Amino acid sequence: MRYIPLTDQEKQEMLEEIGVESVDELFEDIPSRMLLKEPLPLPAALSEAELIRHFQELAAKNVDLSQTVSFLGGGAYDHLIPSIIKHIAGRGEYLTAYTPYQAEISQGVLQSIFEFQGLIAELTGMEAANASIYDGATALAEAALMACAVTGRKKVLLPATLHPEWKEVAELYLKSQDLAVEYIPYDPRKGTLDPAALEKTEWSQFAGAVVQQPNFFGLLEEAAPVSQRIREQGGLFIMAVDAISLGLLKSPGELGADIAVGDGQSLGNTVSFGGPSLGFFATSGSKLIRRMPGRVVGETVDKEGRRGFVLTLQTREQHIRRERATSNICSNQALNAFISTIYLSVLGKKGFQDVAFQNLQKSNYFQQRLLEIGGLSLKFSAPSFREFVIRGDVDWEEMNLRLLEHGFIGGLPLKRFGFPQAALFAVTEARTKEEMDAFINVFRGLI
């Protein structure tokens, strides 16, 4: 077989060394009535050339973002990805290693995770970050669980404006431990959390309160009042932030967050049908840092005093603490975190701010152009970043199918999330003025 180097003669030598006649003897401890008598009904093996052809055919059944101009977002974004990333992240030393259990021969992975933690801490304005969680939704769920564990309280307050899929994940994680979820309602005119509702909330019951910034609709929330109230009453303030927005917007640290989480797909990872992405998780203060879920890398020295990096604070983790661990997470999204590390390094301090700035400018431009079309309006009045919701008497799902015929995909139809006449448009720095203008022309003709 293709990836098995042993020759028949070598196999024979090895069988002799073991002292058996055939490989079958090595399976004799399996009750014979369980053994498969027939081959598995799988397709016949493909050679490398056939395999490539097969996948090209599969790929051709999809319309990808290089063939179309898309304004889809809603948690996965088409940002520019520097070419250098695939060349570094494709190196076998990173790609084919595992969790760096043997630190002395894993300094490459360990130092890059240490750098990732530093970059995330900088972005979020928090003291420390872990090595990654599966995605933004699970990072938020873990943060909510941590708030309950730290405070001993059994209820978490989520924003009604949270990404609907993140709500589902958080609810599933919390409810399975008999922890309750309540929602802060939003003002349907502004599209952001309702200040009047904050007055009526009994904050002292909650382990933590969450704000997503920008929220699912792309709108900017007033985070400070939530932060202040929940923290005054002994709960944790958790911010779920968009990574790119941190080039422009106030950081969770500046807003007093105890935990900052988010999804890192937009930091150099392809959209890849929604995964793999990465969740980032940051917190402040020694007490909370020691309760974080997942891997953490720390700096230390060897016997000669040389700087080196190791997995640390491992007594939080499942392989040591078993059922008393802070989480069950083991494998995380290391390579995606590494991609984000390269992205943030090569963009740098100024380049990263430029990305956020261009997202703001381009989404504003496109929003204005859409609003020139009769019958469309902004569904919500709060200021937005990169994404915004357009309302219009349009079947947005049907519209996207028609747009596809012209090489475009419009916004995300919000029908599936309960807003039949609305669509969520995302505009990143990857969209050009030419593309946007061409979309407007086509769209005007279809509406």
Interface positions, 229-288, toward another protein (CB under 8 A) = 246-251, 254, 263, 270-278, 286
* 140 neighbors 282 (Cβ within 8 angstroms): no
370 part of the interface to another protein, by CB under 8 A: no
Q: Which is nearer to another protein, 236 or 424 (CB)?
A: 424
Residues 179-218 that bind another protein (CB under 8 A): none
Exposure string of 347-362, with b = 16+ CB inside 10 Å and e = fewer, is beeeebeebbebbbeb
Both tokens of 181, joined, read 């979820």
Rule CB under 8 A: choose which of 8, 21, 45, 418 binds another protein: 45
21 part of the interface to another protein, by CB under 8 A: no
297's CB contacts (< 8 A; 6+ apart) are: 100, 110, 113, 114, 117, 131, 309, 310, 311, 312
Residues 279-338 that bind another protein (CB under 8 A): 286, 289, 295-304, 306-310, 312-315, 317-325, 327-336, 338
Rule CB under 8 A: choose which of 189, 234, 285, 354 binds another protein: 354
Name the minimum Å distance from CB 231 to another protein: 18
109 part of the interface to another protein, by CB under 8 A: yes
Rule CB under 8 A: choose which of 88, 378, 440, 446 binds another protein: 88
* 159 neighbors 215 (Cβ within 8 angstroms): yes
Name the minimum Å distance from CB 314 to another protein: 8
Q: Which is nearer to another protein, 165 or 187 (CB)?
A: 165
Q: Which is nearer to another protein, 206 or 366 (CB)?
A: 366
Q: Which is nearer to another protein, 96 or 200 (CB)?
A: 96
Residue-wise DSSP of 305-373: --EEEEE--GGGSHHHHGGGSS----S--HHHHHHHHHHHHHHHHHHHHHHHHHHHHHHHHHHHHHHTS
> Between 164-175 and 136-151, two packed helices, what is the crossing angle to 10 degrees?
40
Residues 116-175 that bind another protein (CB under 8 A): 117-119, 121-123, 125, 127-129, 131-132, 134-138, 163, 165-166, 168-169, 171-173
Whether a cis peptide bond, with omega within 30° of 0, leads into 276 is yes
Neighbours of 2 (CB within 10 A): 8
Backbone dihedral angles phi then psi of residue 71, each to the nearest 5 degrees: -115, 25
Cα dihedral 290, 322, 157, 137 sign: positive
444 part of the interface to another protein, by CB under 8 A: no
Name the minimum Å distance from CB 111 to another protein: 6
Binding span for another protein by CB under 8 A among 46-54, 150-158, 188-196, 438-446 = 46-54
Rule CB under 8 A: choose which of 229, 362, 379, 386 binds another protein: 362
59 part of the interface to another protein, by CB under 8 A: yes
- Angstrom distance (rounded) from CA 97 to CA 77: 28
Neighbours of 31 (CB within 10 A): 7
Rule CB under 8 A: choose which of 34, 199, 375, 445 binds another protein: 34
381 part of the interface to another protein, by CB under 8 A: no
394 part of the interface to another protein, by CB under 8 A: no
* 239 neighbors 257 (Cβ within 8 angstroms): yes
Q: Which is nearer to another protein, 200 or 418 (CB)?
A: 418
Residue-wise DSSP of 359-375: HHHHHHHHHHHHHTSTT
DSSP H helical ranges for 394-432:
396-404
Name the minimum Å distance from CB 323 to another protein: 4
